[in-house]
Copies of this chain bind each other. A is one copy, B any other.
Amino acid sequence: MTAVSSAPSTSTSFDLGPARALSCRECGHETPLAPEYACQECFGPLEVAYDFGRVRREDIEAGPRSIWRYKGLLPVPSTVSAHPNTEPGGTRLIQADNLAKALGVRKLWVKDDTGNPTHSFKDRVVGVALAAARELGFRVLACPSTGNLANAVAAAAARAGWQSVVLVPSSLERAKILMSAVYDGSLITIDGTYDDVNRVAQELAAENEDWAFVNVNVRPYYAEGSKTLGYEVAEQLGWRLPEQIVIPIASGSQLTKVDKAFREFGSLGLVDETPYRVFGAQATGCSPVSTAFKAGHDTVVPVRPDTIARSLAIGAPADGPYALDSVRRTGGAIEDVTDEEVVEGIRLLARTEGVFAETAGGVTVATAKKLIESGKLDPDAETVLLITGDGLKTLDALGDRVGPRATVAASADAVINALKD
């Protein structure tokens, strides 16, 4: 990490709602709210610390259907919804009885985050990043990405009337490039791997003071957006926590933030502090956190990703150690699945519940199956699966395994005959 601060402003009186300070996750050192992301003492990652005051169910329930109903729990100004934004969140939590039966568990829920504006959970984190970036004085919204984040940043910037700079590898599928380009920000494709793109983003963030790279120099604020997945699940369950939840791991941030959301809801008295277990899901082709978990290690050894689950293909996951902490503290587990299992997971979810997930969702479903079969996930405990992205974005993963039952001539008899086979 080369840049500790990328401050576009020296003001210290930012209105970020209940956010009180930035706190180092390693040494605990606190620093005032600012456009910073690494600890000045130890270079550890900074996280938002809060003074929540009183937060009541009624106030949340009276809010909008978007993530802004939880604005009193996020590092955003109280006026956040007055600014044009994509209004993410409010996605379905569906009772998945068919999938429960197929997996042999008693009670299962699927949180279907494909209903977000650009069809992934990234709209949540980008929404919070944009709101914080505006208050912190940034003027350009930017990111390095392999797809979902690029879509979310380009769309959010367009709606907010901001310039965007989105960096992706030039080898990206044409569909993902089109989806990122249509919003008419500055999409730059870079000849290199995602790691190369990421390095360029770090350099640009250090050199351009008013560029908010959402997942680099605004990361402490951005990451908090994932808490809304946890809040929504708990509220949609009728203000209570599930007993088990299975969450895909890319950087590991989402998993730790859902855990944080559950703890906050408990400590604020919004739900009973019932025990819950957090489970992590990875693709075997990029499973550094799963490997560390199984070996009993606290540190995560980087790997070179090789999996169709590209949105989870982060070989050196920044929040891997914290994800390990959450899983171990709650008594959960982490497992990984092959690419073939990923595709079977996508198909199983579509066939049983009519939800078409991207590869990351296949990882979650297949990992849940494996955890159940090995007895690590209790089939009698109520379980939630997080489906965080859309199958329309990873069609190629289905390969030749999905297709029509038959192609026939234009006659009713031909159709009937085809159905008999």
What separation, in Å, do the CA atoms of A235 and B114 have in the docked complex? 24
Q: Are A118 and B356 in contact (CB under 8 A)?
A: yes
Query: Which of A291-299, A307-315, A389-397 lines the interface with chain B?
Result: A389-397
A159-B353, A182-B350 given; A203·B408 CB < 8 A: no
A410 and B190 in contact, given A65-B90, A90-B65, A161-B98 (Cβ under 8 angstroms): yes
A119 at the interface (CB under 8 A from B): yes
Contact A178 B393 (CB under 8 A): no
Chain B, Cβ-Cβ closest to A396: B178
Q: Which residue of B lies closest to A97 (CB)?
A: B84
Contact call B188/A404, Cβ cutoff below 8 A: yes
Rounded to whole angstroms, the CA-CA distance of A196 and B112 in the bound complex is 36
Q: Are A398 and B354 in contact (CB under 8 A)?
A: no
Partner of A392, one of B170, B179, B192: B179
* Pair B395/A178 contact, Cβ less than 8 Å: yes
Check: A418 CB closer than 8 A to any chain B CB: yes
Chain B: which residue is nearest A207 at the CB level?
B412
Q: How far is the CA of A182 from the CA of B401 in the complex (A)?
A: 9
In the bound assembly, the distance between CA atoms of A165 and B419 in angstroms comes to: 9
Q: How far is the CA of A403 from the CA of B411 in the complex (A)?
A: 42
Determine the residue in chain B with the shortest Cβ distance to A190.
Answer: B410
Is A190 a contact partner of B347 (Cβ separation < 8 A)? no
In the complex with contacts A117-B112, A347-B184, A419-B165, A156-B354 CB distance below 8 A: yes
Q: Counting chain B CB atoms within 10 Å of each CB, which of A190, A355, A391 scores highest?
A: A190
Q: Complex formed: what's the CA distance from A205 to B418 in Å?
A: 16
Question: Is there a chain B Cβ closer than 8 Å to A158's Cβ?
Answer: yes
| Chain B neighbourhood of A322, CB < 8 A | none
- CB nearest neighbor in B for A87: B92
Residue from A87, A179, A404 whose CB has the most chain B CB atoms within 10 Å: A404
User: Is the CB–CB distance between A403 and B183 below 8 Å?
Assistant: no
CB-CB contacts below 8 Å: A336-359 with B: 346-347, 350-356
- A174 — which chain B residues lie within 8 A by C-beta? 395
Whether the pair A183, B118 counts as a contact (CB closer than 8 A) is no
How many residues of chain A get a CB closer than 8 Å to chain B's CBs? 85
Cβ-neighbour of A190 out of B178, B207, B407 (below 8 A)? B407
Which chain B residues border A354 with CB–CB below 8 Å? 86, 117-118, 154-160, 183
Q: Is A175 an interface residue (CB 8 A)?
A: yes
- The reply on A204 being an interface residue by CB < 8 A is yes
Smallest CB gap from A84: residue in B: B97
Q: Check A187 for interface membership: any CB of B closer than 8 A.
A: yes
Chain B residues, Cβ within 8 Å of A161: 98
Q: How far is the CB of A136 from chain B (nearest CB, A)?
A: 21
Are B158 and A409 interface neighbours, CB within 8 A?
no
Query: A418 contacts which of B157, B188, B347 (Cβ < 8 Å)?
Result: B188
Q: Does B204 lie within 8 Å of A412, measured CB to CB? A: yes
Q: A356 near B200 (CB under 8 angstroms)?
A: no
Contact yes or no, B188 A398, CB < 8 A? no
- Bound-state Cα–Cα, A74 to B287, Å: 49
Q: A167 interface residue, CB < 8 Å from B?
A: yes
5 interchain residue pairs of minimum CB distance: A159-B354, A155-B354, A192-B410, A203-B412, A196-B410
| 25 pairs of residues in contact across A and B, judged by CB atoms under 8 Å | A87-B94, A98-B158, A115-B115, A156-B354, A157-B354, A158-B350, A158-B353, A159-B352, A168-B404, A177-B403, A178-B402, A181-B402, A181-B404, A183-B351, A183-B356, A186-B405, A188-B405, A188-B406, A188-B408, A188-B415, A188-B418, A189-B407, A197-B410, A200-B415, A204-B415
Given A94-B159, A115-B116; 4 other pairs, CB 8 A cutoff: A165-B419, A179-B356, A182-B398, A191-B409
Q: Which residues of A contact B (CB under 8 A)?
A: 65-66, 84, 86-87, 90, 92, 94-95, 97-98, 112, 114-119, 154-161, 165, 167-168, 170, 174-175, 177-184, 186-192, 196-197, 199-200, 203-204, 207, 346-347, 350-356, 390-393, 395, 398, 402-412, 414-416, 418-419
